Structure 1
Amino acid sequence: MSIRLADRLDSARRRSFVGREHELAAFRDLLDPAAAGQILLVHGAGGVGKTALLHQYAWLARTAGRRVVWLDGHELAPGPEAVTRALAESLGLTGNPLACLGDVPGLVLLVDTAELLVPLEPWLRRELIPALGADAIVVLAGRERPSPVWRVDAGWRELVGVVALGNLSYHEGCALLGLRGVPEEERRPALEFTHGHPLALALVADVSAQRRFSAGATHEVMAALLKSFVDTVPSPLHHQALEACALVLATTEPLLAALLDLPDAGELFAWLRDLSIVEYGSRGLSPHDLAREALEAELRWRDPDGCAQIRHRAAAYYRQQFAGAAPVARQSILLDFVYLHRDTSVLGPFVSEVPGTADLTTGRPTTAELDTIVSWVRKHEGEESARLCELWLHRQPSSATVVRTPSGEAVGFYQLIVAERQVADPAMAGLPDAGEVRMVRFWMDGQTHQRPSPTHMFITTHLCRSYLTSPSPEVTLLTFAEAEPWQEACAYLDFHRMPEADFQVGGRHFAVFGHDWRTVPPLAWICVLAERDALTGGPVAVLGEQEFAEAVKAALRSYGRADGLRDSALLGSTMVNAAAGEAGDPAGAQRALRDILQETAARMEASPRDRRAYRALHHTFLHPASTQADAAELLGLPMSTFRRHLAAGEARFTELLWQRELDSRGGQPMGGN
């Protein structure tokens, strides 16, 4: 029997795997033929070894004669259709996959990067996992702690085990470094530097192979190690290959050749595949997320033209592949294309969390929620609209999607229907002359209707993702209770005003916007959005409130250095892009950020309410004294009082900047209906 590359990869992974005895024992228990089906929820920080552990689970399962299916959140759109399609392809199922899964014996479903599939969690609990056979095993591995509902629900509580993955112990870390060839005298400083973080240890080994290693936060460790590693790669071309790999979702050998404009990239691809910071998936090579972030950030400020050139080549490659691809493959290429533009303000939310919406999920409405949906429509749009909503719920039961909080409370919904011209709904009277037309007939936050809110932002992003992950109709229509507030946002998203399709219900006028996918198909639509984003201020970092606060904290501590703001995450924020004006000018962005910080400080100084806190901030960061003790003495304050004022100053400074960021975003969601 010939040996496959996959077999060699499995053998290499087993040889380099150390520790995790408790986690492996928990999985072996599940493989006992007498054990009932069960779910393991694995969580841990980035780079802590979740993927490596899943590979060991896969090997144990195959050795036990089980059928293994591996899904990766990086490679799936966060929708049920994408997951069921991937399962059907892996298992060779035809027809309705959910109806057939129960007939697959000994199934082991491993889901990596599960944090990217958070919107699907209710669907996984209610529909997918219950459809599996009684002896199935499911492992969900992600960065976030499992939702409490897994342990609160009496049924799931008996089936779910939680595995919290931490750093390796000292002895385990020594063993890992030994397996990777790190000399014994270098192991202790390496462990002290990395605190046993597995990915950082693996990168230490790569650095050590080039030169002697000598001696926090994981990101800081990774940045320092990556700098050491990149300085010792075999050639500038290898360096370019690593950076190119960081810019795309998954790298194949032909794609790498296209990114580097080479006739053959076999040797470089093999080198990338052997790196500790690069993972091998079903669609190609991907740097670990922490490594990707550090590499991309460094390339973006160091060589913005080179970064743009790689993206241009990737886009050209995806267009070429898209033209000859089968419909199923086209969905994956679209996701690759969106990922390429993930740092733009309008496309970024398609592949990452939108600030303020991280805990929201979607699902099909329950019977009780159907009544709630109709009551919302009655409240906000009147009795006649409520009757029409009930009509469409009856005709197309799967058309409604409800938005829920972590506690399961319904807070909003949208209804995406396939238009039927014969239905007695005024909205059908002005339909465009096209084949399949889909219309967002109703959508709202249960409390605020169509005014901006986290629920509205979530609905917007969820709909936009669906345009890329579902078979496209010929035309998509959006309905609004008022046209004027949405003109600019819809035009930006290439949804154009269609007054001829407007309609009235119960004496109330509704406005319609539409996008013709025949004229601008999904791939071209992504290009349009990316180009418009570039013309209106360049790449924008879509930071959540907590990420923004951390970036402000780092900026304050770096403010006093001449180039201290060079690497600030705030440089990509909306407020800085709006102030800088000229896209692609790193120096201009740094000046704009410094001006914003100074303006915010001046605002605090001018406010009687903030003046005491400002002074502590001023003498600590803006014009710092030698030590905090000296700053406290300058202000005539006891140290405890000074620290209290300083904490208040940081909090107020962050609050003012966050409000400016929100104002720069225009109070509008990123994307719009």
Structure 2
Amino acid sequence: MCPTIRDRLSRNARERLVGRQAELSQLRRALAEGAPAVIHLHGLSGVGKSAVLTAFAEEARGAGAAVLAVECGSIEPTERGVLKELGQSLGCAPRLDTVAAALAAGPTPLLLAFDAYEHFGLLDAWVRQRLVPALPERTLVLLASRLPPTAAWTEAPEWQGLFRAMPLGMLSVAEATALLERLEVPQDAAPRIIGFAAGHPLALALAARAAQSLSSDGAQPLEVVIPQLARRYLGDVTDAETREGLRAASIARRVSIGLLRALRPQSDPGALYDRLAALPFVTAMRDGLAMHEAVREALAAELHAADPELHRRYRQEAWRQLSREAQTAPAAELWRCTADLIHLMRNPVVREAFFPQGATHFAVEPARPGDGPAILAMASQHDGTAGAALMGTWLDAAPHAFFVARGPDRAVEGFYCLLDAAEAAAGTLRADPVTARFLRDISERPLDGNQTALLLRRWMGRAEGEGRSAVQAACWLDIKRHYMERRPQLRRVYMALADLGPYAAAASTLGIVPLPDPVAIGNHRMQAAMLDMGPGSVDGWLFRLAARELGIAMQDDLLDRAKRALRVDGQIVPLTRREFDVMAYLVGRQGEAVPRDGLIHDVWGLRFDAGSNVVDAVVASLRRKLGSRAGAIETVRGFGYVYRAGADGRPGAEA
């Protein structure tokens, strides 16, 4: 057979990979023999996981295997996002059955590789329980991640012999020497670099660039090496504009031309984008440029230490750019803006809500029929007989609402119960007084259009109950998966606690407010609470949290969401439900001209006659209540309205 360019690519990928022959040999054997079915390659940032994955994928293609690679950081971490990605690659409908059928109809063996799998923390149980079991038998699934596998992979009996964890360590001295020779580092500089980089591939590669400026100090800890090398490389970027663009870009998860235009308006964004793309630690992805995590974090930390005000201003401009992008992004692309936004936030309460400590020690998955006794035992221990009886009612009526956290021994260490409000309202669960309290609030403040609400009926750990614990962190992380899957329709989340006190500060930060009238359950009392995310759903809620953290005037200027009122001249001015919804919609899109038809469709959830004055009537009422701040809502003649934070002036000012 005539050699092809593919053969050369495969050979080049293997030859440029220094060391890792033992790992490649194990991968080669697994693909050929069909066991194990899943290999989890894990190690520190910059240790070479992606390089191993790429080299093996090229080798597998060269050997005639089918290869399908997924970049986890570039897609929405939901079942919908993964199936859409696989469906597009395979040319089939984005459903698990059609994806599995398309893979089964293709050539074998098959390598399905997930790079940066740590981004799929929300999906790990689904990948383990649903996706992988549906794949053709001659499939090797390769997961490359910074994090080690969860206990559910390593301890579950059904995965024994079919799963293998493969840690990726540092290069040996001989391998590091070979890498530096390939990078054409002078022999007299190599010993200093090898001692300095401690066998870390990224550190070695960066040190090769900075070889002439390295000090003669002895070996240093890896955590110190990478930031030092990142700063040294920044110093070696001789072009001042590229260097400043690199510093600005370090605050972002991904770099787009639009973001560079916002951060560095004095620069040519296209040219700057190309110069950044040429840097050795920057990778061009389909949605922008990705700076290596270790380098990015080091540069961002240095910027924050050297010029905290500039660091803050870059984050503010990034927020504004993401806000603009989110207004026009199709639903399928909205996750990228959301992920970028979460990366911008540093508030410890918000970060703990989305990146809780200790969550990876427990596997959260749908409850099985045999888990009922453990759930009821926990409910009885912490909520008493009456509380356990209600959990029994839920188990009978909606077993699919229960999710459990399993420890390393697969025992149930905690659970949560979550259900769509519409499903709870249609069944026997209305007899539960806590559920009834949730539904009463929805009745008093109905949801509009296709908006939905989630009822988080209960969560608890075996030892701590509803108290803070690693079990609770794992459950809350999985709950965020439900948030993402239900956006942009999800409007509210209701929850109940025996004691809101320990969570009061965090609840206030996140916008969670208690509902009046606590509910009695036997000898216990439950406090119902509610998070109203607003018309913008999960993304609008996150943008408000980020704006507050960054000191950007948004809804906090006039709109008090907790009180569902305006704050005008030091006074609280109550709003009707419709006034609040219209004001929240405009505030969430400050500076943007909003069409009347858009308000009618998105707030009312209906398509009224275009001549209807229902919007004008509500806006007129809002302006009366705004008083001296009435000019904050401007009329755009023949189109609609625009909200301008901090604006004053006469009502109905034309824009």
TM-score normalised according to structure 2 size: 0.72
Unaligned runs of 5+ in 1: 1-5, 536-673
One-letter amino acid of the counterpart of residue 381, structure 1: D
Q: Name the counterpart of 1:647.
A: none
Q: Name the counterpart of 1:179.
A: 182
Q: Is 1:481–2:498 an aligned residue pair?
A: yes
Q: Name the counterpart of 2:95.
A: 96
- Aligned equivalent of 2:209, options 184, 206, 210: 206
Q: Name the counterpart of 2:515.
A: 498
**Distance in 2 (alpha carbons) for counterparts of 1:145 and 1:510:** 38
Q: Name the counterpart of 2:45.
A: 46
**Distance in 1 (alpha carbons) for counterparts of 2:520 and 2:9:** 63
Residues 146/488 of structure 1: CA separation in 2 closer, same or farther (3 Å cut): closer
- Aligned equivalent of 2:246, options 238, 242, 246: 242
**1:137 Cα deviation after fit:** 0.9
**1:92 Cα deviation after fit:** 4.1
**1:259 Cα deviation after fit:** 2.4
What aligned pairs does 1:341-352 form with structure 2 within 5 A after superposition? 341=345, 343-352=346-355
**1:166 Cα deviation after fit:** 2.6
**Distance in 2 (alpha carbons) for counterparts of 1:28 and 1:188:** 33
What aligned pairs does 1:318-397 form with structure 2 within 5 A after superposition? 318-341=322-345, 343-352=346-355, 354-397=356-399
**1:254 Cα deviation after fit:** 3.1
Residues 115/474 of structure 1: CA separation in 2 closer, same or farther (3 Å cut): closer
SS of 2:361 mapped into structure 1? coil
Residues 401/91 of structure 1: CA separation in 2 closer, same or farther (3 Å cut): farther
**Distance in 1 (alpha carbons) for counterparts of 2:331 and 2:9:** 31
Q: Which moved more, 1:381-390 or 1:291-300?
A: 381-390
What aligned pairs does 1:94-493 form with structure 2 within 5 A after superposition? 94=93, 96-97=95-96, 100-101=99-100, 103-105=102-104, 106=108, 107-118=110-121, 120-146=123-149, 150=153, 155-208=158-211, 211=212, 215=216, 216-262=220-266, 264-341=268-345, 343-352=346-355, 354-419=356-421, 420-423=424-427, 424-425=430-431, 426=433, 427-428=435-436, 429-432=439-442, 433-434=446-447, 435-464=451-480, 466-471=482-487, 472-483=489-500, 486-493=503-510
Determine if contact 2:83/2:96 at 8 Å carries over to the other structure. Answer: yes
CA deviation string 1:289-330 (max 9, x = no partner):
221221111011101121112111211111111111111211
One-letter amino acid of the counterpart of residue 38, structure 2: I
**Distance in 2 (alpha carbons) for counterparts of 1:38 and 1:475:** 40
One-letter amino acid of the counterpart of residue 114, structure 2: V
**Distance in 1 (alpha carbons) for counterparts of 2:405 and 2:40:** 24
**Distance in 2 (alpha carbons) for counterparts of 1:61 and 1:197:** 26
**1:369 Cα deviation after fit:** 1.3
Determine if contact 1:346/1:533 at 8 Å carries over to the other structure. Answer: no
- Aligned equivalent of 2:538, options 522, 536, 552: 522
**Distance in 2 (alpha carbons) for counterparts of 1:329 and 1:9:** 32
SS of 1:474 mapped into structure 2? strand
Residues 23/298 of structure 1: CA separation in 2 closer, same or farther (3 Å cut): same
Residues 167/398 of structure 1: CA separation in 2 closer, same or farther (3 Å cut): same
CA deviation string 1:75-123 (max 9, x = no partner):
4666555544544444444253167425514432212233454565444
One-letter amino acid of the counterpart of residue 370, structure 2: A
**1:66 Cα deviation after fit:** 3.7
**Distance in 1 (alpha carbons) for counterparts of 2:505 and 2:359:** 23
Determine if contact 2:75/2:335 at 8 Å carries over to the other structure. Answer: no
One-letter amino acid of the counterpart of residue 257, structure 1: R
**1:468 Cα deviation after fit:** 4.1
Determine if contact 1:414/1:440 at 8 Å carries over to the other structure. Answer: yes
Determine if contact 1:82/1:469 at 8 Å carries over to the other structure. Answer: no
Determine if contact 1:120/1:361 at 8 Å carries over to the other structure. Answer: no
Q: Which moved more, 1:81-90 or 1:363-372?
A: 81-90
Q: Is 1:19–2:22 an aligned residue pair?
A: no
**1:483 Cα deviation after fit:** 4.8
**1:267 Cα deviation after fit:** 3.0
Determine if contact 1:477/1:513 at 8 Å carries over to the other structure. Answer: yes
SS of 1:441 mapped into structure 2? strand
SS of 1:403 mapped into structure 2? strand
SS of 2:210 mapped into structure 1? helix
Residues 140/279 of structure 1: CA separation in 2 closer, same or farther (3 Å cut): same
**Distance in 2 (alpha carbons) for counterparts of 1:464 and 1:164:** 28
**Distance in 1 (alpha carbons) for counterparts of 2:157 and 2:509:** 47
Q: Name the counterpart of 1:541.
A: none
Determine if contact 1:182/1:205 at 8 Å carries over to the other structure. Answer: yes
**1:275 Cα deviation after fit:** 2.4
Determine if contact 1:112/1:142 at 8 Å carries over to the other structure. Answer: yes
**Distance in 1 (alpha carbons) for counterparts of 2:163 and 2:351:** 33
One-letter amino acid of the counterpart of residue 203, structure 2: A
Residues 371/161 of structure 1: CA separation in 2 closer, same or farther (3 Å cut): closer
**Distance in 1 (alpha carbons) for counterparts of 2:243 and 2:415:** 47
Residues 162/450 of structure 1: CA separation in 2 closer, same or farther (3 Å cut): closer
Unaligned runs of 5+ in 2: 1-5, 552-655
Determine if contact 1:385/1:505 at 8 Å carries over to the other structure. Answer: yes
CA deviation string 1:212-232 (max 9, x = no partner):
655421122222222222112
**1:356 Cα deviation after fit:** 4.3
**Distance in 2 (alpha carbons) for counterparts of 1:442 and 1:102:** 38
Determine if contact 1:492/1:532 at 8 Å carries over to the other structure. Answer: no
Q: Percent identity?
A: 27
Residues 25/482 of structure 1: CA separation in 2 closer, same or farther (3 Å cut): closer
**Distance in 1 (alpha carbons) for counterparts of 2:136 and 2:370:** 29
**Distance in 1 (alpha carbons) for counterparts of 2:153 and 2:530:** 40
Determine if contact 1:42/1:140 at 8 Å carries over to the other structure. Answer: yes
What's the Cα RMSD here?
A: 3.4
Determine if contact 2:494/2:529 at 8 Å carries over to the other structure. Answer: yes
**Distance in 1 (alpha carbons) for counterparts of 2:485 and 2:533:** 14
One-letter amino acid of the counterpart of residue 29, structure 2: D
SS of 2:349 mapped into structure 1? coil
Residues 359/217 of structure 1: CA separation in 2 closer, same or farther (3 Å cut): same
Residues 98/391 of structure 1: CA separation in 2 closer, same or farther (3 Å cut): farther
Determine if contact 2:453/2:492 at 8 Å carries over to the other structure. Answer: yes
CA deviation string 1:262-302 (max 9, x = no partner):
56323332332232322344433222222122111101110
Residues 524/125 of structure 1: CA separation in 2 closer, same or farther (3 Å cut): closer
**Distance in 1 (alpha carbons) for counterparts of 2:248 and 2:117:** 25
Residues 154/102 of structure 1: CA separation in 2 closer, same or farther (3 Å cut): farther
**Distance in 2 (alpha carbons) for counterparts of 1:170 and 1:378:** 58
**Distance in 2 (alpha carbons) for counterparts of 1:450 and 1:41:** 33
SS of 2:376 mapped into structure 1? helix
Residues 54/474 of structure 1: CA separation in 2 closer, same or farther (3 Å cut): same
Residues 245/71 of structure 1: CA separation in 2 closer, same or farther (3 Å cut): farther
Determine if contact 1:49/1:199 at 8 Å carries over to the other structure. Answer: yes
**Distance in 2 (alpha carbons) for counterparts of 1:378 and 1:132:** 41
CA deviation string 1:469-517 (max 9, x = no partner):
53242322112234555444322211222226x5444475432221233
**Distance in 2 (alpha carbons) for counterparts of 1:396 and 1:95:** 27
**Distance in 2 (alpha carbons) for counterparts of 1:118 and 1:442:** 22
Q: Which moved more, 1:97-106 or 1:360-369?
A: 97-106
**Distance in 1 (alpha carbons) for counterparts of 2:241 and 2:11:** 30
One-letter amino acid of the counterpart of residue 236, structure 1: A
SS of 1:166 mapped into structure 2? coil
Q: Aligned residue pairs: how many?
A: 526
